[in-house]
């Protein structure tokens, strides 16, 4: 039976591209929000759910981090790294000199700014609520229009691709995570994600916390903070480290950290993404 895989829809988004990269044979279930991906997994509607967690230009996706902090029965089971390629699409037959307006999500417009400045310096840019909404606006536009979208949108909508790979920075990658009700068994090349916080505040707390890993030679891949939502200036820290929570060194560091913090949650151990970066 194919895996039922929920993702942040609609079809035609980079999230759908990530879902297809993760498991081309999966039964894909588009849902309307990151919270809905979690709900689909927690209620058994889907076996796993794919959500974006970090982009190499924009940084972390706060909504996903907050979801992992809150949902104590949701775990990271896998990671998937997708190269982001933006395409410029138009209604079939539209020539690039005809284009009077270019629609896209503000982030996509920003990531293609130099391209637009160079090739479409005088064309109006209109922010849209998503790259897929931008494609729909092109199809109903009374004047010749273009949209910046994911390549996947061009495969699903009756549009023509005028240009590919129009993003300014070639180092544009998004890391997605597959969420499930359990994490992944050890494979020998794994990562572990943790979240923790303190109720007290004194100099050196976080230094001590990182010391549990440094003293065991465990490399940290990432450190991030999120607001506790109770008081400005109080944070929940998120760590990604190399190794699996069942490995002795990692197990020891987590035990020390559990004693030192007021709250800790292991968000999951999962294989490091091996795809081409």
Of 96 and 222, which has the nearer Cβ to its own copies? Answer: 222
Q: Which is nearer to its own copies, 182 or 205 (CB)?
A: 205
Is 174 an active-site residue?
Answer: yes
Touching its own copies, residues 73-92 (CB under 8 A): 81
Residues 34-63 contacting its own copies, CB under 8 A: 54-59, 62
String of b and e for 164-199 (b: at least 16 CB within 10 Å)?
eebbbeeebebbbbbbbeebbeeeeebbbbbbbbbe
**Least distance CB 220 / its own copies (angstroms):** 6
Nearer to its own copies, 56 or 258 (CB): 56
Cβ at position 128, least distance to its own copies in Å: 9
Q: Is 202 in the site for its own copies (CB under 8 A)?
A: yes
Q: Please state the closest distance from residue 92 (CB atom) to its own copies, in A.
A: 29
Nearer to its own copies, 172 or 269 (CB): 172
| Cβ count near 138 (within 10 Å) | 25
Within the chain, residue ranges assigned H as helices are 14-22, 34-42, 62-70, 106-111, 113-119, 131-140, 151-156, 205-214, 248-260
- How many of the other CB atoms lie within 10 Å of CB of 63? 15
Q: Give the orientation angle of helix 248-260 with respect to helix 205-214, to 10 degrees.
A: 170
Tokens matching residue 256: 């020390």
By the rule CB under 8 A, 230 interacts with its own copies: yes
Catalytically active residues, by annotation: 174, 176
Judged by the rule CB under 8 A, the positions of this chain that interact with its own copies are 54-59, 62, 81, 127, 129, 169, 171, 173, 175, 201-204, 206-208, 210-211, 213-214, 217-227, 229-233, 235, 237, 277
């Amino acid at each position: 039976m194919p895996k039922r895989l929920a993702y942040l829809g609609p079809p035609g988004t980079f999230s759908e591209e990530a879902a297809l990269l993760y498991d081309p044979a999966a039964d894909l279930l588009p849902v309307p929000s990151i919270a809905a991906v979690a709900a689909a997994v927690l209620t058994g509607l889907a076996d796993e759910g794919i959500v974006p967690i970090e982009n190499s230009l924009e940084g972390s996706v706060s909504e996903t981090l907050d979801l992992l902090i809150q949902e104590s029965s949701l775990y990271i089971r896998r990671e998937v790294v997708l190269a982001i390629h933006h395409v410029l699409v138009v209604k079939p037959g539209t020539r690039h000199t005809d284009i009077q307006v270019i629609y896209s999500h503000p982030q996509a417009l920003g990531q293609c700014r130099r391209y637009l400045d160079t090739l479409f310096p005088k064309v109006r840019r209109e922010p849209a609520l998503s790259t897929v909404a931008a494609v729909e606006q092109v199809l109903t536009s009374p004047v010749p229009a273009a949209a910046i979208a994911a390549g996947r949108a061009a495969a699903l909508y009756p549009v023509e691709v005028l240009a590919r790979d129009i993003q300014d920075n070639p180092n544009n990658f998004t890391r997605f995570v597959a969420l499930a009700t359990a994490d992944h068994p050890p494979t020998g090349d794994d990562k572990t994600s943790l979240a923790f916080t303190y109720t007290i505040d004194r100099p050196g707390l976080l230094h001590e916390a990182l010391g549990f890993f440094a003293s065991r030679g465990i490399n940290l891949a990432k450190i991030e903070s999120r607001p506790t939502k109770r008081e400005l200036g109080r944070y929940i820290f998120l760590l990604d480290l190399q190794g699996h929570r069942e490995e002795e060194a990692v197990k020891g560091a987590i035990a020390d950290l559990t004693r030192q913090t007021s709250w800790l949650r292991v968000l999951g151990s999962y294989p490091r993404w091996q795809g081409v970066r």
